[in-house]
Each structure stands twice: as structure tokens, then as C-alpha cells.
Amino acid sequence: MMLALVRPDSWNLPLFLHVLGATVLVGAIGATVLIAVRAPAWRRLLVRTIGFLVLPAWVLMRFAGQWIDSRENVPGDPAWLGVGFIVGDAGLVLLVVMALIAWWGLRRPERRWPVRAVAAISGLYLIALFVAMWAMTTKPD
Amino acid sequence: MDTYDWLLFLHVLGAFLVLGGAVLAGVFNFAALRRERPSEIAMLFKFARVGVVSIGIGMVLTLALGLWLVHHVGYGWGQTWIVLALVLWVLANALGGIGGGREKKTRELAERLAAEGDAPSAELTARLRDPVWLALSWGSGIVVLVILALMIWKPGT
């Protein structure tokens, strides 16, 4: 247990940025879910939240994660790291698709499906983020 | 998963609820600054309440599980990062609590104006741009970020 508590100083900045990006991403995705479900008419706010907060937070989380991975040099291919990479990398595809759908929905306000799709994707991704957080924190074998 | 894993997971979950909740509330408070209709502002403040509840639950989790972790791992109670984190936790709550009180009054004003015709109001706009409220809200968020930094760097260990 104590090994997990000892960390070289050079890992601290990337870890801080990784956690900061992940927490901002959770909050921004939460806001996206809330807007899409409770205020579907506010499509400009939806697009701005995704464009100005969700995507930049993902970039910070993912690149800082890669930075710490390059420092930590984890031996083997543990499941917890795999979960992190899947939620991170597959998440980008989901987030880009979600951003495009939200933008499409802004240009076609008469259509309801884009906002519903954004609500479904963001809701699923929020759950995935918490699963990744559990895996990255507890590091199960 | 052993006891340490559970404690750490719940402690980190608490931190995510605090910082994520602050971001969520920030999104809606910022959006409210750009609106004029009281009904829209009232709705945005209602959404921001979700973030405030998340922050409240997260604050309790981080403190309770954090204290348990210190005891479980055997850190010294007098270590710099632990003492500083506890002092800043109280400060963040105080700033957030005072700011939250002002936010509640602004939300109540927006709801009243929305029920009375929903016309834009100079008083509501002034409250939304109140520098004291903005300083308290942002200050509380910055203090929480400093606590996160303390948890990672652990100065004085």
C-alpha cells in the first residue's frame, strides 16, 4: 500500500493537470446533460459548452495523462490503464460526434433528435468517466 | 479492493463532485450574466443549484474520507499539507457559503420578476454583476484548486 503513496516529484505537475482536466470534463459533461435534458431549446449554450469547455478539458485530461504515462512507465498492460485509454480515446470520437450533432441541431432548430442524441451520448460518457475514475483510482488487477 | 482502495476512491469521488460541481455551477452562472429575461436567469440559477448540491456532497465526502485516510495510512496530523488543507477546506466553505447566500437572493429576485411580467431589470443585472459575489464564488473555486494541489504535492511529508 505504501508504494502507491510514494510518487516522484516529477509526476506531480502532469498528475495535477490530468486530474484538473478530468474534473472540468466531468462538470462540463454534467452541464451538457442538464442543458440537453432540461433546456433543449438552448442549443447555442449547448454548443458553446461543448466547444469551449468539454473539448478543451478532454485535451488537458488526455495530454496530461499521456505525459504522466511517459514518466511512470507502467510495466505490462494493466486493465486499469486500458480502461483509462479506452474512455479517453474512444471518448474523443464520441465527443466529436456529439459536438457535430449539437452544431447540426443549432442549424436545424425544428428537429428534436439532435438534442436527444446529445443527451444520450453525454449521459453515457458521464457514466464512462466515473468508471474510468474508479479504475484509475483503485487500479484493480 | 481493500479498505485503502475504497477510502481513496470515495475521497477522489468527493473531489470530482466538488470540482465538477463548481464547473457546472460556473457554466450556468456565466450564462446568466449574458441574459436579461428574469425567467431565463431564474432557470439558469436553478440549474446551477445542481452544482451547488454536488459541491456540498463532495465537500462532506472529501473531509470525512480524507480524515479517515490520514488515520488509516498513518500520516502525522501535524503535517503541513494536512493542516493547510483543513484550514483551506474551512475557508472554501465559508467563501462558498457567503457567496451562495447572495446567489440565493439573486435567484429569488429573478423568480419574483419572472412572475411579475418577466421584464428586464436593472437591479437584477446589477446583482448578477455584483463584484463581491463574483469574488466570493471565484475565490472559493481557487481555494479548492489549491487544496487539490496540496493533495498531489503533499508539501512537508
Q: What pLDDT score does A71 carry?
A: 86
Evaluate if residue A4 carries a pLDDT over 50. no
**pLDDT tens string A15-71:** 999 999 999 999 999 999 999 999 999 999 999 999 999 999 999 999 999 999 888
Phi, psi of B149 (to 5 degrees): -60, -40
Name the residue among A49, A133, A138 with its Cβ closest to that of B5: A138
What pLDDT, on a 0 to 100 scale, did the predictor assign at position A73?
Answer: 78
Contact A34 B47 (CB under 8 A): yes
Grid cell 482536466 in the structure block, residue: A21
Q: Residue A10 — pLDDT band, cuts 50, 70, 90?
A: confident
Say whether residue B4 is in contact with chain A using an 8 A CB cutoff: yes
Q: Residue A117: its pLDDT value, please?
A: 97
Cβ pair B35, B83 in contact under 8 A: no
Nearest-by-CA chain B residue for A32 = B24
Which of A1, A34, A39 shows the shortest C-beta gap to B4?
A: A1
pLDDT in tens, B65-107: 999 999 999 998 999 999 999 999 999 999 999 999 999 999 9
CB contact, 8 Å: A24 with chain B?
A: yes
**Is pLDDT of A2 > 60?**
no
Q: How far apart are CA A42 and CA A64, in angstroms?
A: 32
Judged by a CB distance cut-off of 8 A, whether residue A31 touches chain B is yes
pLDDT exceeds cutoff 90 at B1: no
Once rounded to an integer, what is the mean pLDDT over residues B19-39? 95
Q: Which of B23, B43, B50 sits opposite A24 (nearest CB)?
A: B23
What is the ipTM for the molecules in this complex? 0.94
Q: Residue B106 in contact with residue B128, Cβ under 8 Å? A: yes
Q: CA–CA separation, B36 vs B22, rounded Å? A: 23
Q: Residue A134 and residue A32: Cα distance in Å, rounded?
A: 22
* Average pLDDT value for chain B: 95
Burial status of residue B122 (CB atoms within 10 A of its CB: 0-12, 13-18, 19 or more)? exposed
> Which helix H or strand E contains B100, and what residues bound it?
helix B80-115
Pairwise CB contact (< 8 Å): A34 & B24: yes
Place A6 in a pLDDT band, splitting at 50, 70 and 90.
low
